[in-house]
Amino acid sequence: MITSRIHHAALSALLIAGLAACGNDDTGNATNPLLIAAKAAGGTVAQMRNEKAEPAAPKRTPEQMAAEALRVNPAPLVMVGFESLGRTQVMAMTGQNGAMRTFMAPSEEALILRDGMVVGTRGLGNDLSVAEPGTEALIRAGRPGSAKRVMRYYSGDGLERPLSFDCTVGPGPKAGVVVESCEGHGTSFQNNYMAQGGHLPVSRQWLGPKLGYVTIQTLRP
């Protein structure tokens, strides 16, 4: 039951995020002697290391991470994928203030969520002090409309710097997906949410110019 729930949430997150795999392209370099030498040297070193070291443990999949977290931690849990950092981790609730919950990883990086909506970050660098989404009621109700979104960031002098964006809310390309499109200050971004009865169990949200996007899925409410 837990496994099927995790698998369904993972597929939902991928649907919203629309993540695209990208890799290095060596096209046109097949005859480059420096590239061939570098690859050969790298292969030799890797072979020598493998002969001396034990095989590395396989990297755990998001589903395995979620299953382990659900087994050992009874607290509310979310799985967070940081696109700009190229990593996914499980965060557990460590505090609550009214409707706002703080979810933290063992590294002490944290997201502050209001029923799935990001309202702040801590410990990530270039942190979002607080978000004031005027679009929140529209998103939760799945209604089209427009409103301001204000996002305040910590600056080097310790003060908050607000950035205001003009946003529109409308239905996404998939049933049940709500899209929030925002622009301002020479940039634009698009947040995607799966709204269910006013809740936001799965989403892809923009944290800021430096932090980029995160995908969030609720593992345990």
Residue numbers of the domain that contains 130:
2-15+59-220
Q: Looking only at Cα atoms, what is the longest distance across the chain?
A: 63
Higher pLDDT, 51 or 113: 113
Identify the CATH number of the domain in which residue 206 sits. Answer: 2.40.360.10
Least confident of 1-5, 75-79, 107-111, 161-165: 1-5
Give the total number of structural domains in the chain.
Answer: 1
Q: Is the pLDDT of residue 17 over 70?
A: no
Is residue 151 situated within a structural domain?
yes
- What percentage of the chain has pLDDT greater than the value 90? 61
Is residue 49 situated within a structural domain?
no
pLDDT attached to residue 50: 52
Is residue 114 situated within a structural domain?
yes
Segment 54-82 shows an average pLDDT of 86
**Which tokens in the block code for residue 97?**
């203030």
Higher pLDDT, 42 or 137: 137
H or E segment at 101?
strand 100-104
Tens of pLDDT, residues 85-108? 899 999 999 999 999 999 999 999
Is residue 72 situated within a structural domain?
yes
Q: Give the pLDDT band of residue 159 (cuts 50, 70, 90).
A: confident
| Sheet strand arrangement including 128-133 | 117-122, 110-114, 100-104, 87-97, 77-82, 212-220, 199-208, 187-196, 177-184, 160-171, 145-154, 128-133
Amino acid at 59: K
- What is the rounded distance in angstroms from the CA atom of residue 124 to the CA atom of residue 195? 27
Is residue 21 situated within a structural domain?
no
Is residue 149 situated within a structural domain?
yes
Higher pLDDT, 163 or 12: 163
pLDDT attached to residue 20: 30
Is residue 40 situated within a structural domain?
no
pLDDT attached to residue 170: 97
Is residue 203 situated within a structural domain?
yes
Output the pTM of the full model. Answer: 0.75
pLDDT attached to residue 60: 81
